[in-house]
Structure 1
């Protein structure tokens, strides 16, 4: 894992993104410079035309790279499933190409005019070039995985089951990690022997920590072998906190748990700017949703519900009503799959997340942020806090419309689901910054588009 702006990113995925970006840019720039000459103004000089082609190729490559990242092309889960990969690639193309045609005039290239010209073939040429680039890099990447090129051999001192995480992917999934035979003998910590076995790092389980000689571990570290305790390794590997081994005072030492006033002001400004922009853009959609709710079933258009916010203070959350008015006659209940309480229009609104658009008003009021842990109802907070230690720690940041837990874990409707989502929420509390917020926003596009976790 590579640490970027305080957040752990998969090194092999970053490398794949970079290789594909460089190769795509090279192919598209060559295509524009020597092929689709109609893309450039007629009076453009040869040198100027080449520069223009480089600019447009950079725009196209950046658009494909950002859209691919937002839609999950660089997730390990997508990489391993061919069908999902093909679907994602198709959607990226459908989104990027119209967007390019709209923004290309900024680079003095009228792509709309080209669609009706004799040079109209430039569009499929660029798309084919990008697809060939992806086919080549992904094929080579899978071959490299099968041959263990990216495998990092780790030595576990103690029980390997202590560091796997449950539920979680195995550490040796996808060829990214391979667990060497566990070692309980401190004499096995010989740097030369470990390097001969191509050991990338040593993970120390808690049970074995007290019996290991510090001098032997220091020799290994000075030889370039990475040393992790099980908590740190699992946080890096799974990008969530280990709740079972989290000390009671962890918030005191968390790097980003308490943001500075400047950071708070910047985040608030970002929330205001983006929420106002989004409200303007989605206002027609919200009006249509309100009309559909009114025609579909009796009851109010909006649904107000008490939720727990920053530092445990409650506020009234706004949503489009998606259930019958008597949905909670028997008391608060989590939504279930195919819940009969959900109306016909409400089912569509929940699947597309349109029902959550009124929460932008909560953001404008300052009760919520765009990014943060999902606000829960007081009834469920009391229930979950009694069953899950440190559950209240998630309230040290403002709740959000989307968050790290939402883009990494499906809808939670049980104590165990809430526990897993808390592990992701507390990772966000500990490492939140603008870079991580942008990653969450990008990932939210994938969650909405593929209806992940909607009920």
Structure 2
């Protein structure tokens, strides 16, 4: 794992992203300069600018298609579907971008579109084949020295286990006495990345040896947090908020975060305005009742606010006003409502809540007061998620399907608390890009 702006990124996926970006840049640049896919060659400066913009956009598009998710890498059908979506998105972005740079009547525009797509295909293919070869030769593995008396769940780590970093456990040398640490030379020779041990098991002398070799010291819970990008609420100490980096933000940082929320909300509103108009008409035609659905939710610091959504259920769906969990094939959902939920169109009016300041673009899902009271009484630290504004999308929403039980809420809380602890604009960007994948492939819809 590699820490970037407080967020742990899987090292092999980061290497894959950098390799793809470099490969795409070189491929697009070479094709443009040589004039392979267009009528005339392009001068080196223009080719470099176009190649750089395409390479950066390609990484975002590939991420938005879900092609950096570890479980997708081993599923051929999902890889093909993601590759098709990535190519389509990149085609649209390339065409729009070149129309702004080059007159539409110039055939060079269409030629460059071909150069861009060909270059991206070549670059991504070369980078992925290279990373596959490096992985097979063990060049991307992270070797862990696991000390005695750690939880059994860590001892059985397998290389390349689906959804996890490439971790290989290494045993302590047999000739060491209790309380001794391997020499820095041995640690370097074994390419040890981190030592996993309970804090009480690491003496001052051992800590010095590990630090001299440049080896990280992680507790079992810290390793779980790094490799799974979530925290276990039941194992958090009572004072965990004192070390939560995501909550230590200056007034300038808070203002910048708010400005990003407003700008993104306005941009989405502008782009989706025709969708609003069509959806409003269809909701009225599909079933009797109001277009917008209003519901009280719990926001930051436990403050109640009114959340807006396009109505996707029949009127009076909850008899007696009692809150009910959503379920698969929920009979209360209208025909249009089912389609809106799959595409997440019903959540567009929450942009109003963002502009009003009740919500952010990214944050934990806002829950109903009765659910918050129920879950807060049975799940440790559940109310800590309210330390930040709720969001339209969030770390839990892009990593776990729609929750419909207490156990689902517990698992989603693990991701929410990770976000609260490590919140940053970088993590927000990752979540927003991942949301495109959730919408396009209907991950977790209900």
Both structures adopt the same fold (TM-score exceeding 0.5): yes
Distance 2:244 2:64 in 1: 28
Does 2:292 align with 1:302? Answer: yes
- Corresponding pairs, count: 440
Distance 1:427 1:94 in 2: 33
Q: Deviations over 1:231-278 (max 9, x none)?
A: 222221112223232111111221221432222222222222221222
Comparing both chains, which one has the higher relative contact order based on Cα–Cα distances under 8 Å and sequence gaps of 6 or more?
Answer: 2
Distance 2:390 2:144 in 1: 37
The aligned runs of 1:344-423 (5 Å cut-off) are 344-423=335-414
Given that residues 186 and 212 in structure 1 are in contact (C-alpha distance below 8 angstroms), is that contact kept between their aligned partners in structure 2? Answer: no
2:416 maps to what in 1? 425
Task: Compute the displacement of 1:182 (Å).
Answer: 7.3
Does 2:264 align with 1:271? Answer: no
Aligned CA distance change for structure 1 residues 274 and 216 (closer, same or farther; 3 Å)? closer
2:10 maps to what in 1? 10
Distance 1:423 1:95 in 2: 32
Distance 2:284 2:421 in 1: 43
My pick for the range that moved more, 12-21 or 322-331, is 322-331
Aligned CA distance change for structure 1 residues 255 and 216 (closer, same or farther; 3 Å)? same
Does 2:127 align with 1:137? Answer: yes
Distance 2:278 2:100 in 1: 33
Aligned CA distance change for structure 1 residues 293 and 170 (closer, same or farther; 3 Å)? farther
1:21 maps to what in 2? 21
The aligned runs of 1:156-175 (5 Å cut-off) are 156-159=146-149, 161=151, 164=154, 173=161
Distance 2:186 2:333 in 1: 62
Distance 1:29 1:172 in 2: 34
Given that residues 39 and 111 in structure 1 are in contact (C-alpha distance below 8 angstroms), is that contact kept between their aligned partners in structure 2? Answer: no
- Secondary structure (helix, strand or coil) at the match of 1:79 reads coil
Does 2:145 align with 1:155? Answer: yes
Aligned CA distance change for structure 1 residues 143 and 305 (closer, same or farther; 3 Å)? same
Aligned counterpart for 2:59 among listed residues 30, 40, 65: 65
Task: Compute the displacement of 1:159 (Å).
Answer: 4.8
Task: Compute the displacement of 1:447 (Å).
Answer: 1.0
1:186 maps to what in 2? 178
1:176 maps to what in 2? 166
- Secondary structure (helix, strand or coil) at the match of 1:299 reads coil
Distance 1:227 1:51 in 2: 47
Task: Compute the displacement of 1:139 (Å).
Answer: 2.3
My pick for the range that moved more, 308-317 or 189-198, is 189-198
2:312 maps to what in 1? 322
Task: Compute the displacement of 1:387 (Å).
Answer: 1.0
Given that residues 242 and 423 in structure 1 are in contact (C-alpha distance below 8 angstroms), is that contact kept between their aligned partners in structure 2? Answer: yes
2:194 maps to what in 1? 201
Aligned CA distance change for structure 1 residues 82 and 132 (closer, same or farther; 3 Å)? farther
Distance 2:158 2:364 in 1: 26
2:436 maps to what in 1? 445
Given that residues 159 and 182 in structure 1 are in contact (C-alpha distance below 8 angstroms), is that contact kept between their aligned partners in structure 2? Answer: no
Distance 1:37 1:156 in 2: 53
1:102 maps to what in 2? 96
Given that residues 158 and 183 in structure 1 are in contact (C-alpha distance below 8 angstroms), is that contact kept between their aligned partners in structure 2? Answer: no
Given that residues 334 and 413 in structure 1 are in contact (C-alpha distance below 8 angstroms), is that contact kept between their aligned partners in structure 2? Answer: yes
Does 2:86 align with 1:92? Answer: yes
Does 2:333 align with 1:342? Answer: yes
Q: Deviations over 1:306-330 (max 9, x none)?
A: 1000110111111111111132116
1:311 maps to what in 2? 301
Q: Deviations over 1:407-451 (max 9, x none)?
A: 111111111111111111111111112111111111111111111
Given that residues 367 and 398 in structure 1 are in contact (C-alpha distance below 8 angstroms), is that contact kept between their aligned partners in structure 2? Answer: yes
- Secondary structure (helix, strand or coil) at the match of 2:214 reads coil
- Scaled by the length of structure 2, the TM-score of the pair is 0.91
- Scaled by the length of structure 1, the TM-score of the pair is 0.89
Given that residues 163 and 234 in structure 1 are in contact (C-alpha distance below 8 angstroms), is that contact kept between their aligned partners in structure 2? Answer: no
Aligned CA distance change for structure 1 residues 382 and 342 (closer, same or farther; 3 Å)? same
Distance 1:39 1:62 in 2: 25
- Structure 2: gaps (5+ residues): none
Given that residues 38 and 114 in structure 2 are in contact (C-alpha distance below 8 angstroms), is that contact kept between their aligned partners in structure 1? Answer: no
1:43 maps to what in 2? none
Task: Compute the displacement of 1:161 (Å).
Answer: 4.0
Given that residues 153 and 178 in structure 1 are in contact (C-alpha distance below 8 angstroms), is that contact kept between their aligned partners in structure 2? Answer: yes
My pick for the range that moved more, 401-410 or 58-67, is 58-67
- Secondary structure (helix, strand or coil) at the match of 2:245 reads coil
Distance 2:391 2:173 in 1: 44
Distance 1:162 1:214 in 2: 25
The aligned runs of 1:37-48 (5 Å cut-off) are 38=38
Given that residues 162 and 230 in structure 1 are in contact (C-alpha distance below 8 angstroms), is that contact kept between their aligned partners in structure 2? Answer: no
Aligned CA distance change for structure 1 residues 120 and 257 (closer, same or farther; 3 Å)? closer
